[in-house]
Amino acid sequence: MALKYWWLLALGLAALAAVVVVLWRRRTATSNHLPVAHAERLTALPSYQRAVKRRRKWLTTAVAAVAVLAVSLLVAAARPVTERTSIPEQLNRDIILCLDVSGSMLDTDEAIVSVFAKLVEKFKGERIGLTIFDSTAVTVFPLTDDYDFVAEELKIAQKALSVDSASFEYFAGTYEAPGSSLIGDGLASCINGFPAVADSKRSRSVVLATDNLLAGKPLFSLSEATSLAQKADIRIYALNPNDYGADTLFGKAADGLKKTASVTGGAYYALKSESAVPAIVQKVQATEAALLKGAPQRTLLDNPGWPLGVALVSLLVLLTAGWRLRR
């Protein structure tokens, strides 16, 4: 244990010593004794001697209590602390939430973000990021393990993507190129959201929420973006809000997402599937989860309890002594 403001204790003790010296000198200079004849008859009485001893005892107790009270309060003011050096640990999983915000997704984006929020609640220690895309992609927030921040950002996204109160400012930067819902480009951008230098100790996953309805000419096709994910050993977990069966246009789009998820070692889920959240969480957490060591961090822990506790006891003793001296 150490005192952060140790000089405050030294300064306080010096001030207390100065006060004691001043009071002692004043008492000596102003003492005025009144002579009394035959006082020895009174002082020789056993009851008088007992009373004097009792008074001296309680005066000594009161003075000691004042001294201890003053010193303990000075120690508390000097801030006793314990210094610790800790090495934070972090799980080795990175997850990017990749959200298609094109026109065909507007009715379901709010529900998808709600699913994202449920996913985040199940994770602990993983780094989470969010990217949205239409014809171009925007990183809402990069990979972070600040879960309070992530939860707040997802609340903002859910409100901004609500059909009743959609905020077009939230989509800024997502339609800077011709076309719409460029799935391959969006997925490639999400893949690029991971650190440029791959760390073999970290597992990396993308939760891709899209209906895969392409409306333009992308730089990357879905299969090309999938190849990028395979080369970087990134698993794709596809979440489709518009899965209406194999014999429809939506069904053919779903087949492309299923293939992407399958070849990267991920999985495909319809948004309405109740098993989507627990299944994605289970599969992500099934990947290797060795703890990674962070940089050492120095922390100071305040320990004001014991000096304040001593001060409280001293105050109680002082009050008791004062009460006994007045009797």
**48-71: b (≥16 Cβ within 10 Å) or e:** eeeeeeeeeebeebbeebbebbbb
pLDDT in tens, 291-325: 455 567 777 778 888 888 888 888 888 888 888 77
Task: Tell whether the model's pLDDT for residue 8 goes beyond 50.
Answer: yes
What is the separation, in whole angstroms, between the first and last Cα of the chain?
43
User: Same structural domain for residues 316 and 223?
Assistant: no
User: Which residue would you say has higher pLDDT here, 51 or 183?
Assistant: 183
User: Same structural domain for residues 144 and 189?
Assistant: yes
What pLDDT, on the 0 to 100 scale, is given for residue 34?
Answer: 66
User: Same structural domain for residues 56 and 125?
Assistant: no
Q: Which of 33-47, 118-132, 165-179, 257-271 has the lowest mean pLDDT?
A: 33-47
Q: Which of 19-33, 48-62, 214-228 has the lowest mean pLDDT?
A: 19-33
CATH number at residue 147: 3.40.50.410
User: Same structural domain for residues 147 and 161?
Assistant: yes
What pLDDT, on the 0 to 100 scale, is given for residue 290?
Answer: 47
Q: What total number of domains does the chain contain?
A: 2
pLDDT in tens, 59-73: 888 888 888 888 888
Decide if 149 contacts 170 (C-beta within 8 A).
Answer: no
Average pLDDT over residues 265-269: 87
This prediction's pTM: 0.60
Task: Report phi then psi at 272, rounded to 5.
Answer: -75, -5
pLDDT in tens, 158-207: 888 886 766 678 888 888 888 888 889 999 999 998 887 555 567 888 98
CA separation for the pair 266, 207 (Å, rounded): 9
What pLDDT, on the 0 to 100 scale, is given for residue 246?
Answer: 61
As a whole number, the mean pLDDT across the chain is 80
Question: 276-285 and 109-122 are packed helices; what angle lies between their axes, rounded to 10 degrees?
Answer: 40
pLDDT in tens, 229-247: 999 889 999 888 877 666 6
User: Same structural domain for residues 198 and 264?
Assistant: yes
Task: Tell whether the model's pLDDT for residue 147 goes beyond 80.
Answer: yes
Q: Which of 82-96, 148-162, 265-279 has the highest mean pLDDT?
A: 148-162
User: Same structural domain for residues 285 and 316?
Assistant: no
User: Which residue would you say has higher pLDDT here, 212 or 36?
Assistant: 212
What pLDDT, on the 0 to 100 scale, is given for residue 319?
Answer: 85
User: Same structural domain for residues 133 and 256?
Assistant: yes
User: Same structural domain for residues 199 and 307?
Assistant: no
- Judge whether 247 lies within some domain: yes
User: Same structural domain for residues 257 and 226?
Assistant: yes
- Judge whether 43 lies within some domain: no
User: Same structural domain for residues 190 and 254?
Assistant: yes
- Judge whether 35 lies within some domain: no
Domain of residue 68: give its range. 1-13+52-84+300-327
CA separation for the pair 238, 211 (Å, rounded): 9
